[in-house]
Amino acid sequence: MLTGKQKRFLRSKAHHLTPIFQVGKGGVNDNMIKVSVLQNCEEDKNDVAEALVKGSRSQLVQTIGNTIVLYKESKENKQIELP
């Protein structure tokens, strides 16, 4: 579980990033996990975030606007050192 301090640190790291994935009208499914919720998405962004966390076994850092920030620690190529 991420602490508040760790979440703030990760939010600052993610702020300048452009979302790589998008969730559209079809929502989230098992085969394709996508992470900027488009306006035409029929699912609630919090439900999308939950599905992404569960499907990717990651942790939710924040949901802001239509952007979801997730964190999953790398076991082989750790690049972020959490405080």
| Sequence-separated (6 or more) residues with CB below 8 Å from residue 62 | 7, 11, 68, 69
Question: Domain range spanning residue 52?
Answer: 4-71
Q: What is the CATH number of the domain that holds 33?
A: 3.30.110.60
Kindly state whether residue 82 falls inside one of the protein's structural domains: no
**pLDDT tens readout for residues 31-78:** 446 578 888 888 999 999 999 899 888 889 999 898 888 888 878 877
Kindly state whether residue 13 falls inside one of the protein's structural domains: yes
Instruction: Give me the pLDDT at residue 33, please.
Output: 66
**CA-CA distance, 52 to 30, in Å (whole number)?**
10
**Helix, strand, coil proportions of the chain in percent (round to 5)?**
30, 15, 55
Query: What single string gives the DSSP state of each residue in 47-73?
Result: HHHHHHHHHHT-EEEEEETTEEEEE--
